[in-house]
Amino acid sequence: MPNSKPILEVLTGQAQAVPPVWFMRQAGRYLPEYRALRAKAGSFLDLCFTPEWAAEVTLQPIRRFGFDAAILFSDILVVPHALGRTVTFEAGEGPRLDPLDDAAKLQTLATQEDGKVFAPVYEAVRRVKSALPPSVALLGFCGAPWTVATYMVAGRGTPDQAPARMLAYREPDAFARMIDILVEVSSRYLIEQLRAGADAVQIFDTWAGVLPPAEFARWSIAPTRQIVASVRAEIPDAKIIGFPRGAGAALATYIDQVPVNAVSMDWTAEPGFIRERIQSKVAVQGNLDPLALLAGGTALDHAVDDIIENYGNGRLIFNLGHGILPETPIDHVEQTLRRIRG
């Protein structure tokens, strides 16, 4: 079957003897070829919005390692950028946005994106699609509204995203308006990525784990569920992976309410719980500790073996529990792939 893509097999219900594998942030600073193009591009957003460069960076880890999926090179914060917010990425500092930290400022948020902003992203998807080997899946993505909102409110990443949590408690109506806008824009954005050729999309909710259960239901689950419904209204068989990082036991609630094809687990997931409550219903993805990948040696081998042993008999896409760290040695990635593939 030369045209089959192992990742799509897993997402549609078919466990694979050798789990397909890709890594979150597989295109990035641990690769010298990424650093070279990043330096040439100048700004991070120019790299994201120049189709030739974004496509090239997307393909770099596929050429080097032969991963089973390519993930579009972009960022979750292109959505606030398309809504007219100022977004910059300073080297070594992470993202900076003009904060929307009170109800009055929230009211100024545009209700519609500037659609032209996304055109180069879709062009990058088309370019990658035509360059990929037939067995390799192309993944698109967006941030979940809650996680994108945390950056829009604080104007940056913070240790526990307290500014957005506070604003959601103090100004729930104004906050809900922003979440609703993000649901609409993100749905359109994912639909167009799929139309341009993405085989599946992942919704990154990096900050899901800072919310108490009722807030998790309101700000993480409900908006993500709406996005999935809007996307499937246009593309009924759209393949969608959810990543509510840090959800813990609430992962069960998440999959009961959000009809995703797979959930990505962070490295704290409890294997018995995941097998019985999650993997029995949907495919799972993950969940190697990025620090084990950084450490290498026998600790890495054992961590890889544990994941295969815990989840390898069911529907598994091997991945990290969060993004690869910039200091990660390339030979540790190679070691991991040899260990998985034999």
- Shortest distance in whole angstroms from residue 180 CB to ligand CP3: 21
List beta partners, residue 202.
141, 241
DSSP for 231-292, please give it: HHHHSTT--EEEEETT-GGGHHHHHHHS--SEEE--TT--HHHIIIIIITTSEEEEEE-HHH
Annotation marks residue 151 as catalytic: yes
Q: Please count the residues of this chain forming the interface with ligand CP3, following the rule CB under 6 A.
A: 25
Nearer to ligand CP3, 26 or 220 (CB): 26
Marked catalytic residue, from 30, 34, 38, 245:
38
Q: Would you say 147 or 226 has its CB closer to ligand CP3?
A: 147
How far apart CA 183 and CA 226 sit, in angstroms, is 7
Report in angstroms how near the CB of residue 145 gets to ligand CP3 at its nearest: 13
Tell the residue number behind the tokens 């789990």, with chain if given: 19
Q: Which region, judged by CB under 6 A, interacts with ligand CP3, from 70-78, 116-124, 211-219, 300-308?
A: 70-78
Structural tokens at position 8: 């799509």
Q: Which of 73, 118, 122, 146 binds ligand CP3 (CB under 6 A)?
A: 73
Near ligand CP3 by CB under 6 A: residue from 30, 53, 67, 141 = 141
Q: How far is CA 288 from CA 209, 264, 270, 318, in A?
A: 18, 11, 13, 8
- State yes or no: residue 77 binds ligand CP3 (CB under 6 A): yes
Q: Interface with ligand CP3 includes 332 (CB under 6 A)?
A: no
76 vs 221 by CB, closer to ligand CP3 = 76
* Binding of ligand CP3 by 76 (CB under 6 A): yes
Span interacting with ligand CP3, options 2-10, 68-76, 266-274, 329-337, rule CB under 6 A: 68-76
Interacting residue with ligand CP3 among 54, 71, 221, 238 (CB under 6 A): 71
Residue 274 Cβ, how far from ligand CP3 at the closest point, in Å? 20
Q: Which amino acid is at 326?
A: P
The binder of ligand CP3 chosen from 323, 335, 337, 339 (CB under 6 A): 323
Among 9, 18, 33, 44, binds ligand CP3 (CB under 6 A): 44
Q: What is the Cβ-side half-sphere exposure of residue 134, based on CA atoms within 13 angstroms? A: 4
> Identity (one letter) of the amino acid at 278?
I
Q: How does DSSP assign 147-177, residue by residue?
A: HHHHHHHHSS--SS-HHHHHHHHH-HHHHHH
Query: What count of Cα atoms within 13 Å lies in the side-chain half-sphere of residue 12?
Result: 10
Q: What angle do CA 53, 186, 213 make, to 5 degrees?
A: 125
Please pick, among 25, 165, 188, 245, the residue that the annotation labels catalytic: 25
Q: How far apart, in whole angstroms, are the C-alpha atoms of residue 290 and residue 217?
A: 28
How far are the Cα atoms of 19, 38, 142, 306 from residue 286, in angstroms, in the given order?
A: 11, 27, 18, 12
75 is catalytic: yes
Instruction: Count the neighbouring beta carbons within 10 Å of the beta carbon of residue 36.
Output: 11
Q: Which stretch binds ligand CP3 (CB under 6 A): 8-16, 90-98, 171-179, 220-228?
A: 90-98
Q: For residue 341, indicate whether it is catalytic.
A: no
The site string for ligand CP3 over 148-187 (x = CB under 6 A, - otherwise) reads ---------x------------------------------
Strand partners, 316: 284
The answer to whether 21 contacts ligand CP3 (rule: CB under 6 A) is: no
Nearest to 120 by CA among 69, 82, 63: 82
Residues of this chain that interact with ligand CP3 (CB under 6 A) are 24-29, 38, 44, 71, 73-77, 89, 91, 94-95, 141, 143, 147, 157, 204, 206, 323
Which residues form the catalytic set? 25, 29, 38, 75, 151
